[in-house]
Amino acid sequence: MKVIRVEGVSFRYRRAERYSLKDVSFEVRKGEFLGIIGPSGSGKSTLCLTLNGIIPNLIKGEFSGDIVIRDPRTGEEYNTRETPVSELSTVVGLILQNPESQLFNMTVEEEIAFGLENLGLERNEILRRLRWVLEVTRLKGLEKEFPPNLSGGQQQRLAIAAVLAMEPSVLVLDEPTSQLDPLGRNEVLGLVSLLNREYGITVVMVEHHTDYIFRYADRVIVMNEGRVVLEGRPSDLLGEVETLRNLGVRLPHVVEVSYELAKLGLLRRPVASEEELLTQIGRPSR
Ligand SMILES: Nc1ncnc2c1ncn2[C@@H]1O[C@H](COP(=O)(O)OP(=O)(O)OP(=O)(O)O)[C@@H](O)[C@H]1O
Ligand SMILES: [Mg+2]
């Protein structure tokens, strides 16, 4: 089942000379983990903002094409152009780069409950969701903390918790770890992968640490100058190393190294993970 259908979408910001998205089309299936990569300025963030309707409902400009979101629980379809963002955000949750910009309450608990109170949910339902998201994002015990006092990784997990409490079917994450240290990055991306694998949440994630994309994504879209220029499984991208390099996409070390080894004839073909590399060259015996 398709949860997102992007059909021929183009978008130009107000007063901008050029289009930031040009005839973009793709689909996202239920339960899928879709990675989005591409050089700076290629339209990745703009694309994320279209998926829950912020573009064109709140950020206006010249928008054409259609984005249809299907709520897998009800089967109901929403065209983002005709649906308020508040309604879309119960199906598609959006997480941005900077966790601080998404947090504005006095405690962790209030941060999570805020959106739920706005939905007009009953107290028991709010408590049930609060318990669940605190558990899954491993923020239990920090309920009364002042969000700015949390570590970067905890803050981003809190931003995810607040979105998750709305019980969206899809999480869209725009470089969720770009402000984090390696520890925070592991925490956050580990959580995203868990939500996808264990809880069946569909994930669309922009991440320039492509090693995570190669590890977690089922499928990858590569953007350049507002267009989708490549699409495929991570393993398919191994045949496109030169193209990706020319676009300025940073590839995982293991891909770079194995690509060079394959060129020298020392490896049959480039690989996407250390596991595969060990399988090809033979595991060192101890
Ligand atoms: N609010 C805006 N108004 C006008 N132009 C914008 C606006 N936001 C982005 N753009 C332009 O749209 C294009 C795509 O930008 P976008 O931020 O979507 O790229 P990106 O792939 O997310 O880049 P990065 O990797 O640096 O985050 C760029 O040319 C950018 O200058
Ligand atoms: Mg961006």
- Ligand 1 centroid to 223 CA: how many Å? 12
DSSP state of 158: H
The pLDDT assigned to 272 comes to: 87
Look at ligand 1, atom 29, and give the residue with the nearest C-alpha. 41
The pLDDT assigned to 279 comes to: 86
The model carries a pTM of: 0.94
In degrees, to the nearest 5, what angle opens at C-alpha 188 toward C-alphas 186 and 194?
A: 95
| Residue with tokens 């770890």, as numbered in its chain | 177
The pLDDT assigned to 49 comes to: 97
Quote the CA–CA distance of 269 and 257 in Å, as a whole number. 11
115 CB under 6 A from ligand 1? no
Do the Cβ atoms of 228 and 36 come closer than 8 Å? Answer: no
Q: Strands, DSSP E only, in the chain? A: 2-13, 21-29, 33-37, 61-70, 77-79, 92-95, 170-174, 202-206, 219-224, 227-232
The pLDDT assigned to 102 comes to: 86
Q: Consecutive sets of 10 residues in the chain, 286 residues long: mean pLDDT of each?
A: 97 97 98 97 98 96 98 95 94 91 93 91 95 95 96 94 95 94 92 96 96 94 98 93 93 92 91 86 70
- Ligand 2 centroid to 286 CA: how many Å? 45
CATH topology of domain 2-251: Rossmann fold (3.40.50)
What is the position in ligand 1's atom list of the atom closest to the CA of 226?
Answer: 14
Residues comprising the chain, all counted = 286
The pLDDT assigned to 274 comes to: 86
The pLDDT assigned to 230 comes to: 96
The pLDDT assigned to 160 comes to: 95
The pLDDT assigned to 68 comes to: 98
Q: Which ligand is nearest to the CA of 247?
A: 1
Look at ligand 1, atom 17, and give the residue with the nearest C-alpha. 45
Quote the CA–CA distance of 213 and 106 in Å, as a whole number. 34
The pLDDT assigned to 286 comes to: 62
21-29 and 61-70 beta bridge pairing: unpaired
Query: How many beta carbons lie within 10 A of that of residue 256, not counting itself?
Result: 14
Query: How many beta carbons lie within 10 A of that of residue 286, not counting itself?
Result: 3
13 CB under 6 A from ligand 1? yes
